[in-house]
Amino acid sequence: MSAKDDFAAAPPATLAVELVTKWFRTTRTSVQALDDLNLYVDGGEFVCLVGPSGRGKSTLLDIIAGLTLPGEGQVFTDGVLVQGPGRHRLAMFQESALFPWLNVFGNVTFGLRRVAGLGAAKRRRIADYHLHLVGLAKFKKAYVHELSGGMKQRAALARSLAPDPRVLLMDEPFASLDAMTREQLYFDLQRIWKERKKTIVLFTHNVREAVCLGDRVVLMSRPVRAVSPGST
């Protein structure tokens, strides 16, 4: 069996955000981040949500990932209610958040230890496949301090893809990188998306990034009351 056969079981998931509202309250004031937001993403679609800081992008990502609950409304993947975190909805953030005491290979395999039915040999195959996919096969033994910013994000992408999520959420993953590195990663992410056939929702303030990457772009207002789809 080839390494790629290990990832054939999980098809991309549809994503439905229905009438989601979220307030944040402090001792002095209340701020509404999301207001009756609706969003539908087809399985295998690459959608980019665009808006400046303070438009509720990170709040929406946390709700879709199950890291926080909406004040009102619901989120579904393939009709199943999202009630908490799960390995079929994984997030990649602006900071790579790699473990500095582990090498690249150890970071990619870390989350796989919690996936039932994966022995050591299969974990190695999965990690090697994804490191090859993101162009880090020759750096599997490198530690975080030995990697460039772009390489750290590649490692973080491999780690996010390794458990075979059905939805990949990306929160401004290229914002801290230089222009040339970003351009290369745009190309690589498009290639990986086409090969792995995942549902991807990317949150960004960079309009050019959204147009380059997504097959649909959604604009976010403040507070988000509705989503305005646009075609790229």
Could you tell me what percent of the chain has a pLDDT over 70?
A: 90
d(C-alpha 76, C-alpha 80), whole Å: 5
* Amino acid identity at 52: P
Determine the structural domain holding residue 139 and report its residue range: 3-230
Q: Which residue has the higher pLDDT, 4 or 191?
A: 191
**pLDDT over threshold 90, residue 48:** yes
pLDDT tens digits for range 62-97: 999 999 999 999 999 999 999 999 888 999 988 888
With beta carbons less than 8 A apart as the criterion, state whether 107 and 101 touch: no
pTM score above 0.85: yes
Cα 175 from chain centroid (whole Å): 14
CATH code where residue 167 lies:
3.40.50.300
| Structure confidence by residue, pLDDT tens digits, 191-213 | 989 888 889 999 998 889 999 99
Q: What is the pLDDT of residues 103-151, one digit of tens each?
A: 999 999 998 887 777 888 999 999 999 999 999 999 999 999 999 999 9
Distances (CA, A) of 80 to 13, 14, 51, 116, 140: 10, 10, 28, 21, 36
DSSP track, 117-141: T--HHHHHHHHHHHHHHTT-GGGTT
Q: Are 64 and 169 in contact (CB under 8 A)?
A: yes
Q: Using only C-alpha atoms, what is the Rg of the chain? A: 18
Number of domains the chain is built from: 1
Does 227 have pLDDT greater than 80?
no
